[in-house]
């Protein structure tokens, strides 16, 4: 209900603006203005057209936007949305005219049908299409600005997530405990100590090799998990039972590197591990997810978990995919499912420095495309609008051509301001100057 009232208010504002334009054209054409019942009736009918057509076209826009999201602004989807708006507008005008002539003026339906002419639909249709064009351009402009902000967040988020990942990839407690185990093994079992040292070196070599990668093949990550579990089993002897797939089902599957290390370490850290209470850990593939599950036997005395490991994994996956890391808990098991990825976002296939370099080229290329689009828009405006003006002069005395000229002209103006970085209200490079000002204030604080 709140949404409807909000849109109704917008429709009323748009209706008032359109009526003021019509009134200005009437006065500029030498017409008079009298504040009487006829003016009130004319205003009421104008508002009826505006409100009904606005709400109908808003429903069309909402439907297509919910269906196609940001891809609505591509050619393939706009050629569906615009004809739909035309059809809805024509149907809306038909019922509005039916209501005015039959209900308000008391004429018969037969009279309405016989006297109806195509020309009666031309002005409302042109006005509705111009308003639609402005409306779509406004939302497209806002979408582009939001996308630019999101891209900047991805740049910062990628660097931040990589930093956090490196901080949390190997728990310092694990390293401390591993060295203690190694110390005792050197005295008790030198051969086992040698194996332990070899496995520990492999773990750290893997960390160094994968530290700048966002994704790694599932096979490599499972091989690392096996090496890592070898360390844990040496540390806890036979108190850990570990199972993992013998072969990877999907050779193209990828996961976030060292995600398994964090999950396996968590399982050991939060559960009792002893000869009488063995910890069972199983890794398996399940459709589009890699599943890590362990039996629940929580430690009775344990410091409160910070959840850093799981947050870290979720943040890194959040930069790469829309799919979530799934966490569930039963009376007997704790289960975590991490998405298997077969492709990755453009920003995820390169490290931050490479991304920033390529981003500059991509932004330059995008700007060239925007310039080309603006020049095409301007040329079409200069060719089509004069033709519409001539058509207007030879068909009717009502200056209907002013509506597409003004509407499209505003679109060209805003298009140019976006391409050349000029704000018609705040001046050139206002956004950049404001950002620098805020950054300086933040530094001073």
Which letter, b or e, does each residue of 268-283 get, where b requires 16 or more Cβ atoms within 10 Å of its Cβ? bbebebeeeeebebbb
Are 33 and 23 in contact by the 8 Å Cβ rule? The answer is yes
- Which pLDDT score is estimated for 292? 94
- Which pLDDT score is estimated for 75? 67
pTM of structure: 0.43
Q: Tell me the C-alpha distance between 421 and 144, whole Å.
A: 13
Are 112 and 102 in contact by the 8 Å Cβ rule? The answer is yes
- Which pLDDT score is estimated for 281? 94
Name the β-bridge partners of 286.
289
- Which pLDDT score is estimated for 328? 92
Q: Within 10 A of 204 (CB to CB), how many other CB atoms are there?
A: 11
- Which pLDDT score is estimated for 109? 85
- State the greatest distance between any 2 C-alpha atoms of the chain, in Å, as a whole number: 108
Strand, helix or coil for residue 244: coil
Which letter, b or e, does each residue of 361-396 get, where b requires 16 or more Cβ atoms within 10 Å of its Cβ? eeeeeeeeeeeeebeebeeebeeebeebeeebeeee
In 3D space, the residue among 350, 327, 323 whose CA is nearest the CA of residue 215 turns out to be 350
Q: Tell me the C-alpha distance between 239 and 327, whole Å.
A: 25
What's the CATH class of domain 169-347?
alpha beta
Give me the helix-helix angle, 352-395 and 119-168, nearest 10°: 180
- The tokens for 429 are 């490079």
List the strands of the sheet with 279-286, edge to edge: 240-243, 279-286, 289-295, 333-339, 326-329
Rounded to a whole number of angstroms, the CA Rg of the chain reads 33
- Which pLDDT score is estimated for 191? 83
Per-position pLDDT tens, the chain of length 445: 677 777 778 778 877 877 777 777 767 666 777 777 887 888 888 888 888 888 888 888 888 878 877 666 676 777 788 888 888 888 888 888 888 888 888 888 888 888 888 777 777 777 777 777 777 777 777 777 777 666 666 666 665 655 555 555 555 666 776 777 788 778 777 888 888 888 888 877 877 777 667 788 898 889 888 888 888 888 787 899 999 888 888 888 888 888 888 888 888 888 899 888 899 999 999 888 999 999 999 887 655 555 666 777 887 787 778 788 999 999 899 999 999 987 544 444 444 555 556 666 677 777 777 788 788 878 888 888 887 787 777 766 767 677 777 777 777 887 777 777 666 555 556 566 666 666 666 556 5
In 3D space, the residue among 327, 403, 389 whose CA is nearest the CA of residue 122 turns out to be 403
Where do the domains of the chain lie?
1-150, 169-347, 350-445
274 — phi, psi (to 5°)?
Answer: -155, 175
HSE toward the beta carbon, residue 174, CA cutoff 13 A: 20
Q: Tell me the C-alpha distance between 344 and 305, whole Å.
A: 31
- Which pLDDT score is estimated for 282? 94
Q: Tell me the C-alpha distance between 433 and 439, whole Å.
A: 10
Give me the helix-helix angle, 172-188 and 190-210, nearest 10°: 150
HSE toward the beta carbon, residue 388, CA cutoff 13 A: 17
Are 348 and 319 in contact by the 8 Å Cβ rule? The answer is yes
**How do 333-339 and 289-295 pair as beta strands?**
antiparallel
Are 216 and 210 in contact by the 8 Å Cβ rule? The answer is yes
């Amino acid at each position: 209900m709140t949404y409807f009232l909000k849109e109704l208010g917008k429709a009323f504002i748009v209706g008032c603006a359109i009526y003021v334009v019509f009134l200005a054209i009437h006065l500029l054409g030498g017409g008079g203005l009298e504040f009487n019942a006829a003016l009130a009736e004319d205003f009421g009918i104008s508002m009826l057209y505006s409100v009904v057509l606005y709400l109908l076209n808003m429903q069309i826009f909402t439907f297509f936007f919910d269906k196609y999201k940001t891809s609505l602004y591509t050619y393939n989807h706009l050629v569906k949305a615009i004809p739909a708006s035309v059809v809805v507008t024509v149907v809306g005008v038909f019922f509005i005219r039916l209501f005015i002539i039959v209900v308000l003026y008391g004429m018969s339906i037969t009279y309405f049908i016989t006297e109806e002419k195509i020309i009666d639909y031309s002005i409302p249709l042109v006005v509705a299409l111009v308003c639609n064009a402005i409306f779509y351009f406004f939302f497209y402009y806002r979408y582009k600005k939001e996308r630019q902000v999101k891209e900047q967040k991805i740049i910062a988020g990628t660097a931040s997530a990589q930093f956090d990942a490196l901080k949390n990839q190997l728990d310092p407690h694990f390293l401390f405990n591993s060295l203690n185990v190694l110390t005792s093994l050197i005295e008790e079992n030198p051969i086992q100590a040698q194996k332990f040292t070899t496995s520990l070196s492999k773990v750290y070599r893997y960390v160094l090799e994968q530290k700048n990668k966002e994704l790694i093949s599932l096979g490599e990550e499972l091989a690392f998990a096996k090496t890592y579990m070898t360390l844990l089993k040496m540390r806890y002897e036979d108190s850990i039972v570990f199972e993992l797939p013998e072969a990877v089902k999907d050779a193209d599957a990828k996961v976030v590197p060292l995600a398994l290390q964090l999950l396996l370490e968590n399982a050991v850290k939060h559960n009792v591990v002893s000869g009488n209470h063995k910890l069972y850990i199983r890794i398996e593939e399940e459709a589009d997810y890699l599943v890590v599950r362990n039996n629940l036997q929580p430690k009775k005395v344990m410091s409160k978990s910070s959840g850093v490991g799981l947050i870290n994994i979720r943040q890194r996956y959040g930069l790469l995919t829309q799919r979530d890391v799934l966490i569930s808990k039963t009376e007997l098991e704790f289960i975590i499912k991490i998405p298997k990825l077969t492709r990755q976002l453009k920003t995820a296939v390169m490290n931050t420095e490479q991304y920033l370099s390529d981003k500059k080229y991509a932004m330059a290329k995008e700007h060239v495309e925007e310039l080309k689009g603006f020049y095409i828009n301007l040329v079409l405006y200069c060719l089509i609008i004069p033709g519409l003006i001539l058509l207007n002069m030879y068909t009717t005395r009502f200056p209907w051509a002013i509506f597409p000229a003004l509407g499209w002209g505003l679109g060209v103006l805003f298009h140019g301001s976006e391409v050349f970085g000029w704000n018609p209200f705040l001046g050139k490079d206002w956004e950049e100057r404001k950002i620098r000002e805020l950054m300086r204030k933040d530094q001073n604080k």
